[in-house]
Amino acid sequence: MPTLGVNIDHVATVRQARMTNEPDPIWAATLAELGGADGITLHLREDRRHIQDRDLRLMRETVAVKLNLELACNAEVLAIACDVRPYQATLVPERREEVTTEGGLDVAGNSAQVSDAVKRLQDAGIVVSLFLDPDPAQIEAAAATGATAVELHTGAYAHASENYAADDELRTLIKAARQVGEAGMIVHAGHGLTYRNVCPVAQIADMCELNIGHSIIARAVMVGLEQAVRDMRRLVTGL
Ligand code: PXP
């Protein structure tokens, strides 16, 4: 069964709404760990709308489980990543006007830029994952970059699951996961996963890691973060 990476960006979003110092995502990472998170995921965006540089640097010192930094192929943020050296970096596309990451990285259309970013991160000793739509051409291009893992974008599946029409999207994810594995890369997945739709994705063969943010933080507002993480981890890992 896969491991659970808890994305704590939304905690920083609440803090930034008032430009104050609470709630602190460092506390959130600690509570997520206490709830059983196998990893902590955070996204240092070019526009710094939620996570700040200080959050990344402090989490590098305080997080005991896998620290997974999401970032775009942006020279400034890449330099910070190589300096801070989280355990893992997940390269994602970024558009200023988007509410959250929309769509996967276009590796096929930007192979030189992505390969260069992969190499820089790997030279700094960081495990690299690429966030991709479950598209055979993108997976093939990802394999050529030398990346260790692919995070499959589950947004289309998650959207379809709201309409009870997720079977086709699940089949697409299963095929894509098989292709990622056959290309010698590790399979991750994430985006839009909830307590209701996560189980079929967690059960995909060779699925290693799920990264989940919104649904966990939404539940945490009601029941507390440790409990919310514990509830999700039980669904993801079966433990
Ligand atoms: N994986 C990646 C690459 C993401 O960009 C995000 C959103 O920040 C997630 C997973 C988590 O998505 P959600 O917040 O919908 O669970």
Angle at alpha carbon of residue 198, lines to 141 and 16, rounded to 5°: 80
Instruction: Output the pLDDT for position 68.
Output: 98
Question: Which residues pair with residue 41 across a beta bridge?
Answer: 7, 68
So what's the pLDDT on residue 79? Answer: 98
pLDDT of amino acid 5: 98
| Res 216: pLDDT | 98
pLDDT score of 164: 72
Please report the pLDDT score of residue 203 as a whole number: 97
Q: Residue 228 corresponds to which amino acid?
A: A
DSSP type of residue 110: S
Given this model, what pLDDT does residue 99 score?
73
Q: Look at residue 58 in the predicted model and tell me its pLDDT.
A: 98
Residue 104, C-beta contacts closer than 8 angstroms, at least 6 positions apart: 92, 93, 130, 131, 132, 133, 135, 138, 153
Q: How confident is the model at residue 163, as a pLDDT?
A: 75
Where the chain has pLDDT below 70, the residues are none
Q: pTM of the prediction?
A: 0.96
Please indicate whether residue 154, judged by its CB atom, sits closer than 6 Å to ligand 1: no
Q: What is the C-alpha end-to-end distance of the chain, expressed in Å?
A: 9
Which pLDDT value is given to residue 162? 78
CB 58 within 8 A of CB 97: no
235, amino acid identity: L
Instruction: Tell me what pLDDT residue 28 has.
Output: 98
| 195 Cα–ligand 1 center, Å | 15
Nearest ligand 1 atom to the CA of 216 is 16
Residue 131: both structure tokens together? 């966030």
Which residue has its alpha carbon closest to ligand 1 atom 5? 101
Does any ligand 1 atom lie closer than 6 A to the CB of residue 50? Answer: no
